[in-house]
Amino acid sequence: MPGSPKLSSEPAASQRRGLRVSLELRVLSLVAVINLVVFGAGLWHLSTKFDEERSRAQQEVVERVLYTLKSSISPTGELRVAQILSWPYWNVFTDAVISDLNPHGVTLNPVGSAGRGIEFDSDLIQSEMRSAVNSGGDVLVAGGRALAIADARGRTWGGVWFRVADAEGALPLWRGLLPWFFASTLLLYGGTFGVLRRYVLQPVGALASAAQRVRGGDLGVEVDLPAHRDELADLMANFNHMSREVKDFHDHLEVQIDQATRAAFEAESAALRQRRLAAMGELAAGIAHEINNPLGGMINAVETLDRGKLEPDQTRRYLQLVRGGLERIQNTVASLLRFTPRASERVAVDLAGPVADAIELMGHAASRSGVEIRFENHAPGVCVMGSTSEFGQAILNLLSNALHAIEDRGSSGGLVEVQLARLGDELRLRVLDDGCGVPAGELEAMTDLFHTTKEVGRGTGLGLALVLSVVNEYGGRVHFKNRPEGGFCVDMILAVADLDGAGS
């Protein structure tokens, strides 16, 4: 409906550009990332603790080995082999070598050598044990550790190399926990996403879809409320209430706009009728003057003729005076009739005719104010499409406004110029006066209904609005401006009629 409010199709806002990712996919990704981070942090913590425990256990093993070997060396430096072999903790080692590091001394394999491969390098082990003795620390070699052995008095006796069975570190822990990780992640992920989807994502998606429909103009849309009651359910209920209120307000506003539009149209029509009546009232004095002047002369001529006793030449002269007065009255009535609205199709109109008629009808008012109306036709024979009577009324309004502007200037006399000129495919009718002009701040409001710069009682504010209405009706345009030298200028611009076709 014309005049009814329309919902904008742009978001506003500004709408955000770029790839659109649904809320469901974002929540899905967020839950997966959270699960991965939590389980990864747990595994990292466990592996760290495992490495710490493994290091502590290995240190205990080193201390036990050194203590056992130290107690197995006699005060004379002999190694108690039976005591060493009976030590119950050798089962935690995969290999071990004990040597006094003498070329032909004692070398003992407490775990046995049957499990060694051909890659086992006993010379390297002996060499690294000597390095450990010389450095006083432990040396990592062949997947194990080489240490120096001291007796009960603290004297270096030899060296030992051993390899513990759990040398793989935390890898078995990872291998064991990974299946549980994937299983627990899938269960937690599925459960969390299922709950979020039911209680959060689906309600939010319904609200988003409903909001999109409202944006498209479906103001009465509502969403189905979930069975459970929570904050989202309250939000959806509030949305339904808001949607109903907006729909009711929109319907009420459409009714009000329709009523206001009809009232404004009726007021505008009544105002234009009032202006036409007012213009006719202004013409009445001029028409009465134009008729009374010749009537007075004709009455005197008739009275003279009635008395008789006139020479033939005098009789003929008085009869010509009567005929001239009657012809003048006939011309005045004909000009008035040409301004009478008629229900007719658009015709080719030479504006010189309506201009001449308007000047004749305004002649009395102009002469009374001492104003000269001058007409310059620089486009003879050029026609436009329209109605002679409506163009005549528009021109009559422009002349009336020009006379009033000169009267408002305060000094006697003045000049109104009417010019017709062709500008390419257009015809321009220009009305110039040397009156008081229009304040610059009121130029834009000149064609508003009821806007007038005249005193109360002198103007209705409808004249220029009527001019604009007539010109717009025939596809033209109107320009207003103050003249630099003083006064006002109005241009009516219309398309030149195509007399060979249907018209422009």
pLDDT at position 10 is: 44
- How many other C-beta atoms can be found within 10 angstroms of the C-beta atom of residue 182? 11
Per-residue pLDDT tens over the stretch 68-118: 888 888 888 788 888 888 888 888 888 888 888 777 677 888 888 777 878
- CATH code: domain of residue 419: 3.30.565.10
Query: Dihedral sign, CA of 440, 446, 452, 458?
Result: positive
Q: How far is it, in rounded angstroms, from Cα 478 to Cα 230?
A: 64
- Distance in angstroms (rounded) separating the CA atoms of residues 23 and 419: 71
Phi then psi dihedrals of residue 7, to 5 deg: -80, 140
Higher local confidence (pLDDT), 290 or 72? 72
Q: CA 221 → CA 12, 206, 217, 380, distances in Å?
A: 21, 11, 9, 65
Task: Print burial letters for 389-402: b (CB count within 10 Å at least 16), e (below 16).
Answer: bbbbbbbbbbbbbb
pTM: 0.40
Q: Which of 171, 191, 209 is the last residue of a domain?
A: 171
Q: Is pLDDT of 26 > 90?
A: no
Residue 450 has pLDDT above 60, yes or no: no
Look at 15-24, 211-220, 249-258 and tell me which has the smallest mean pLDDT.
15-24
Backbone φ and ψ for 489, nearest 5 degrees, come out as -135, 130
Residue 224 inside a domain? The answer is no
Q: What percent of the chain has pLDDT over 70?
A: 78
Confirm whether 438 is domain-assigned: yes
Tell me, yes or no, whether 457 lies in a domain: yes
**448 has a pLDDT exceeding 60:** no
Q: What pLDDT sits at residue 9?
A: 41
Q: Are strands 107-108 and 156-164 parallel, antiparallel or unpaired?
A: unpaired
The reply to whether 95 falls in a domain is yes
Last residue of a domain, one of 120, 147, 171: 171
DSSP string covering 378-389, please?
SSTT--EEE-HH
Looking at residue 278, its pLDDT comes to 64
Distance (Å, whole) CA 95 – CA 101: 18
Report yes or no on 324 lying in a domain: no
Is residue 99 included in any domain, yes or no?
A: yes
Of the candidates 473, 481, 383, 391, the residue with the CA atom closest to the CA atom of residue 427: 383
> What percentage of residues in the chain have a pLDDT greater than 90?
12
Instruction: Give me the pLDDT at residue 102, please.
Output: 77
Picking from 14-23, 98-107, 120-129, 415-424, which range would have the lowest pLDDT averaged per residue?
A: 14-23
* pLDDT single digits (tens) 303-329: 777 777 778 887 887 787 777 778 767
Residue 408's pLDDT band (cuts 50, 70, 90): confident
How much is the mean pLDDT over the chain? 77
* Each residue's pLDDT tens digit, 225-251: 877 777 777 888 888 888 888 888 888
On whether the CB atoms of residues 393 and 448 are closer than 8 A, the answer is no
| CATH number assigned to the domain comprising residue 55 | 3.30.450
Residue 348 lies in domain:
339-495
Give the end of a domain, one of 149, 171, 193: 171
Residue 29 maps to a domain: yes
**Number of domains observed in the structure of the chain:** 2
What integer is the mean pLDDT of 432-447? 73
In the chain, the largest separation of any two C-alpha atoms, in whole Å, equals 194
Residue 92 domain-assigned? Answer: yes
Place of tokens 């339904």: 240
